């Protein structure tokens, strides 16, 4: 047996002799195809949950997986993907759930798929969060920084030069996060894109650098948000900004087309974030009990922060954590099923 590029098993049939009945060969091939097709169908899961790359969403994904499997006896698969990829896949039906869609970060995807095509639903039960730029307490004391706009001053920015190239360094988020291109806009709006190197890297690596800088009395400035464990593991100072004003917050969705960054502006603080379980509208027909459950999921900001702490600080395995969490929160899950 060999395997095709598509991953389907191919059954090798010996070359037919001249007197071989071609009808028998045709029947053999048809049967082989049927076996392959039925095997592929049998392996397909009822629900696929997309999993982006931050700790609380990974915990939530495993909790939803276990809940759907145990309470509704469904087959559930987890699939790593970016926010953009998950929303596109929910629209087409290859992924069914996003466990923690952040707004306003993903407003452009909400407009396209929730409000526009209506191929995606968002649960009405959103947790709240905050997003900003932070420094460690030691950094604030050493540099005197209090406001985000101070990073546009070359003398202040020089305090954050971690690699010795003469330019300040700031972590603005990970690849695939809805907040990351917005932080590029904010850097340009405040002017520190000209005094700071904007780093995009995975959160684990970035926070390891923050921890090392804190331990060695070095300065660090970085994207911060709640729900998250970073406020429990570090003494952080949120940099001041003008209050959020929708008139000063214009975000053009990032795209290959030049100009999105220049056409955007966000020189004010983030609005309060809302985090929603989202799912493909098709589930209401294909798996109505699952859709009903997902629409009732309620997780607080404190719940999500504890989940992030368990995975990132205590290094708990997400699946093992979810198993204990589901057992200890059976009453809460019961309320999702009512």
Q: pLDDT tens digits for 41-91?
A: 334 689 999 999 999 999 999 999 999 999 999 999 999 999 999 999 999
Helices (H), 44-132: 55-72, 83-92, 107-109
Residues of the chain with pLDDT under 70: 1-44
Fold of 129-266: D-Maltodextrin-Binding Protein; domain 2 (3.40.190)
Cα separation values, 25 from 2, 11, 21, 72, 245, Å: 19, 13, 7, 44, 72
From the list 145, 152, 207, the residue with the least C-alpha distance to 174 is 207
Residues 6+ apart with CB under 8 A from 30: none
Torsion of CA 12, 14, 18, 21, to 10 degrees: -60
Domain ranges of the chain: 2-43, 47-128+276-337, 129-266
Q: For residues 332 and 338, what is the distance between their CA atoms, to the nearest angstrom?
A: 10
Cα separation values, 11 from 21, 24, 37, 96, Å: 19, 15, 12, 32
pLDDT of residue 239: 98
- pTM value? 0.81
pLDDT of residue 338: 78
pLDDT of residue 249: 97
Q: Is 221 within 8 Å of 198 (Cβ atoms)?
A: no
Q: Is 121 within 8 Å of 281 (Cβ atoms)?
A: yes
pLDDT of residue 119: 98
pLDDT of residue 44: 63
Q: Is 256 within 8 Å of 336 (Cβ atoms)?
A: no
User: Which CATH superfamily hosts domain 47-128+276-337?
Assistant: Periplasmic binding protein-like II (3.40.190.10)
From the list 267, 84, 55, the residue with the least C-alpha distance to 182 is 267
pLDDT of residue 84: 94
pLDDT of residue 153: 97
């Amino acid at each position: 047996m060999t395997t095709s590029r598509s991953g389907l098993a191919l059954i090798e049939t010996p070359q037919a002799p001249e007197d071989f009945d071609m009808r028998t060969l045709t029947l053999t091939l048809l049967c082989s195809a049927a076996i392959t097709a039925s095997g592929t169908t049998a392996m397909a899961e009822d629900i696929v949950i997309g999993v982006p790359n931050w700790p609380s969403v990974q915990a939530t994904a495993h909790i939803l997986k276990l809940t759907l499997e145990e309470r509704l006896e469904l087959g559930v698969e987890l699939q790593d993907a970016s926010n953009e990829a998950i929303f596109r896949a929910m629209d087409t039906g290859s992924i069914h759930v996003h466990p923690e869609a952040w707004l306003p970060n993903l407003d452009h995807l909400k407009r396209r798929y929730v409000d526009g095509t209506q191929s995606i639903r968002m649960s009405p039960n959103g947790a709240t969060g905050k997003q900003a730029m932070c420094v460690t307490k030691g950094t604030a004391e050493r540099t005197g920084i209090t406001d985000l706009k101070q990073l546009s001053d070359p003398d202040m920015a020089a305090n954050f030069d971690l690699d010795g190239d003469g330019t300040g360094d700031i972590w603005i988020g990970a690849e695939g996060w809805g907040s990351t291109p917005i932080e590029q806009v904010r850097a340009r709006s405040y002017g520190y894109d000209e005094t700071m190197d904007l780093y995009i890297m995975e959160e684990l690596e970035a926070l390891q650098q923050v921890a090392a800088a804190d331990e060695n009395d070095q300065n660090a400035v970085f994207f911060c948000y709640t729900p998250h464990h970073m406020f429990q593991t570090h003494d952080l100072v949120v940099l001041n900004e003008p209050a959020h004003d929708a008139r000063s917050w214009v975000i053009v969705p990032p795209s290959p087309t030049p100009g999105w960054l220049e056409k955007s502006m966000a020189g004010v603080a983030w609005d309060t974030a809302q985090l929603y379980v989202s799912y493909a509208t098709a589930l209401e027909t294909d798996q109505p009990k699952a859709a009903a459950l997902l629409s009732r999921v309620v997780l607080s900001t404190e719940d999500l922060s504890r989940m992030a702490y368990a995975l990132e600080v205590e290094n708990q395995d997400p699946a093992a954590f979810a198993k204990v969490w589901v057992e200890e929160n059976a009453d809460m899950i019961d309320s999702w099923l009512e």
